[in-house]
Amino acid sequence: MNGVSQITVREDVALVTFHEVPNDPKVLAWIFTELANMKVNLDMISQTAPKGRQIDVSFTLQANQLVEVLGLINRFQEEHPKLKPMVSNGNCKIQLNGEMRDLYGVAAAAISAVSQVNVDLTLISTGEVEISLLVPQSSCEEAVQALEKAFQVKAEIK
């Protein structure tokens, strides 16, 4: 058993990263509350370990909501001028699901499979039963094929 029983693919995903966010949960709560109030559906939320008193925060969303988020970025920067946004559109999210809780090496196998076809990984997030990989849309097909071969599971495109 390799731990992966399902692979799903979501295309047209945008990535937003805020660099140099104050390491203050109130700031993060404010950002995520504003996004929630706009009904922006976030996914793959990732925070770096603190660098001094600052962190970087990344999250993905469907690209059709990106215009709304871009307007909100200006408001964030007014409140926190040092905050540096980076936006990347044209990605796909590949999610591997299965019973991985007590297995080791599943993430290594997924990353190795993708590396064999020279696909760049933009973001990785994991949980006990899932691994999500964000890759450029232009490389999505190659990455999916490599993962299907590695885990012997046919991907489902959403």
CATH code: domain of residue 27: 3.30.70.260
Same domain, 65 and 97: no
Distance CA 142, CA 135 (A): 10
Same domain, 21 and 61: yes
Distance CA 90, CA 14 (A): 6
Per-residue confidence (pLDDT) for residue 75, from 0 to 100: 83
Distance CA 155, CA 58 (A): 25
Question: Which range of residues forms the domain containing residue 71?
Answer: 14-89
Per-residue confidence (pLDDT) for residue 76, from 0 to 100: 84
Same domain, 81 and 110: no
In a domain, 1, yes or no: no
- Each residue's pLDDT tens digit in the chain (158 positions)? 588 999 999 999 999 999 989 999 999 999 999 999 999 999 999 999 999 999 999 999 999 999 889 888 888 888 888 778 899 999 999 999 998 988 899 999 999 999 999 999 999 999 889 999 999 999 999 999 999 999 999 999 98
Per-residue confidence (pLDDT) for residue 1, from 0 to 100: 53
Same domain, 68 and 95: no
The residue from 34, 61, 89 where one domain ends is 89
In a domain, 38, yes or no: yes
Distance CA 131, CA 128 (A): 8
The residue from 38, 69, 89 where one domain ends is 89
The residue from 40, 70, 89 where one domain ends is 89
Number of domains, the chain: 2
Q: Which of 113, 101, 120, 105 is nearest to 155 (CA)?
A: 113
- 119 near 89, Cβ under 8 Å? no
The model's pTM is 0.91
Same domain, 20 and 78: yes
